[in-house]
Amino acid sequence: MNSERKEILYLLHLPPPVHGSSVVGEQIRESRLINDAFRGKYINLILSRKINESGRTNLVKIIRFVKMWFTLLGTLIRHKPHLCYFALTTTGPGFRKDVILIVLLRLFRIKIIYHIHNRGITNEKNNRLNDLFYRFVFSKAPVILLSRLLYYDVEAYVPEQNVYYCANGISDYQPRIAFLSKTENSPFKILFFSNLMKEKGVFVLVEACKILLEKGLHFQCEFVGGESDVTEKELTDFVVNMGLAEQVKYLGRRYGKLKEMVFEEADVFVLPSHCDCFPLVILEAMQHRLPVISFAVGGIPDMVDEGVTGYLLQPFEDAKDLAGRIETLIKNPSLKRELGENGRMRYENFFTKEIFERKLLSILQDVIN
């Protein structure tokens, strides 16, 4: 039976570092359902080993890319796969690197399906060289998008009949440790869990906390994640200057039980991001029955149901509007619980790992046949 299975070459992102695309790549590599259906060969596309290395070119990354290129060449020479699954980076140096690999795949006449986990083509296509590359890359190729809300980004290059939609999913959360129960005097806990980036709204959330403090509300805000274009010192200095040293804390990275603890102890999850596409951390918050407050960008409106599982801010709204949504939940504990329970149900109905794997398998079978 194994000899009858068709072969897929997976060019994807694998951790480290840990981000949405690498988590999904790891799920695909470890999926029994997908690996029972196809024979798979895996090549890791990630050149950066840390978040703050992304977008930067250095000698070590160049050497890694040369090794990757020859690994791909050797793989194609030894055996031609029936399909290449390619986790495409659509902008910046990562895209240029991917184009070089795609040229090699095209020379060997390999059928490619792209799985896109980011966005930004509409901002870069006005560059004539980028436009030429996009036309080459997407020519007659099927594409997997995370949401119909993201089709606008590839519309200039990919006809809709070549697009498949597959929302990401994550493994279910199973409590493994006992957590302390909250008391009436416990502060309302706001959780930010992502890499520290300006575009993810780090400073906007701190400004919202300042407004909450001025209103006399009892809360604590915890920032969890690695440093990126915002360093720990920059965040801490900003917090101190805003007079929030007692209310706002940076906890650094959290994994395993410590990660579970910050989710379990939180009352609301806040990600005031303008740059995200389909952040898996929102699904983690929904798993933990947390209402979610985020911006209506990318595929996030597919995840957060406005007024049902949380709140969606519009891109023109600011810290004052964010503070108002948080204040509503602080003053309405029963509403907070209702939104959290609704989020848990939404996760179970649409965003589990099993639902994702079945959908992706169906897409791969359709394309390969």
Q: Residue 31 sits in a domain of what CATH number?
A: 3.40.50.2000
- The 10 Å Cβ neighbour count of residue 261 is 14
| Mean pLDDT, rounded, of the chain | 94
**289-307 pLDDT tens trace:** 999 999 999 999 999 999 9
**88-108 pLDDT tens trace:** 999 999 999 999 999 999 999
Q: Give domain status of residue 179, yes or no.
A: no
Q: Give domain status of residue 12, yes or no.
A: yes
Q: So what's the pLDDT on residue 175?
A: 61
State yes or no: pLDDT of 78 exceeds 60.
Answer: yes
Contact 294, 273 (CB under 8 A): yes
Give the containing element (helix H, strand E) for 115.
strand 112-116
| Residue 352 pLDDT grade (very low, low, confident, very high; cuts 50, 70, 90) | very high
- DSSP code per residue over 193-256: ES-B-GGGTHHHHHHHHHHHHHTT--EEEEEES-BSSS-HHHHHHHHHHTT-TTTEEEEE---H
Q: So what's the pLDDT on residue 49?
A: 73
Are residues 140 and 211 part of one domain?
Answer: no
Are residues 103 and 205 part of one domain?
Answer: no
- The 10 Å Cβ neighbour count of residue 11 is 25
The answer to which of 53-62, 165-174, 327-336 has the lowest mean pLDDT is 53-62
- Cα–Cα dist 235/223, whole Å: 10
Are residues 358 and 343 part of one domain?
Answer: no
* Percent of the chain residues past pLDDT 90, beyond the cut: 89
- Cα–Cα dist 69/96, whole Å: 13
Q: Give domain status of residue 284, yes or no.
A: yes
Q: Give domain status of residue 245, yes or no.
A: yes
State yes or no: pLDDT of 203 exceeds 90.
Answer: yes
**230-250 pLDDT tens trace:** 999 999 999 999 999 999 999
Q: Give domain status of residue 183, yes or no.
A: no
**123-180 pLDDT tens trace:** 999 999 999 999 999 999 999 999 999 999 999 999 999 999 999 999 997 665 555 5
Residue with tokens 């951390």: 281
Are residues 242 and 156 part of one domain?
Answer: no
Are residues 142 and 263 part of one domain?
Answer: no
Are residues 306 and 193 part of one domain?
Answer: yes
Q: So what's the pLDDT on residue 173?
A: 76
Q: How many residues does the chain have?
A: 369
Q: Give domain status of residue 180, yes or no.
A: no
| Residue 274 pLDDT grade (very low, low, confident, very high; cuts 50, 70, 90) | very high
**21-47 pLDDT tens trace:** 999 999 999 999 999 999 999 999 999
Tell me the CA end-to-end span of the chain in Å, nearest whole number. 17
Task: Tell me the residue range of the domain where 237 lies.
Answer: 188-350
* Percent of the chain residues past pLDDT 70, beyond the cut: 95
- The 10 Å Cβ neighbour count of residue 57 is 12
State yes or no: pLDDT of 228 exceeds 70.
Answer: yes
Q: Give Dmax over CA atoms of the chain in angstroms.
A: 68
Are residues 46 and 67 part of one domain?
Answer: yes
Are residues 320 and 364 part of one domain?
Answer: no
Are residues 246 and 142 part of one domain?
Answer: no
State yes or no: pLDDT of 52 exceeds 90.
Answer: no
Are residues 152 and 12 part of one domain?
Answer: yes
* Number of domains the chain contains: 2
| Local structure of 10: helix, strand or coil | strand
Are residues 310 and 300 part of one domain?
Answer: yes
Are residues 93 and 69 part of one domain?
Answer: yes
Q: So what's the pLDDT on residue 1?
A: 42
Q: So what's the pLDDT on residue 176?
A: 54
Q: Give domain status of residue 217, yes or no.
A: yes
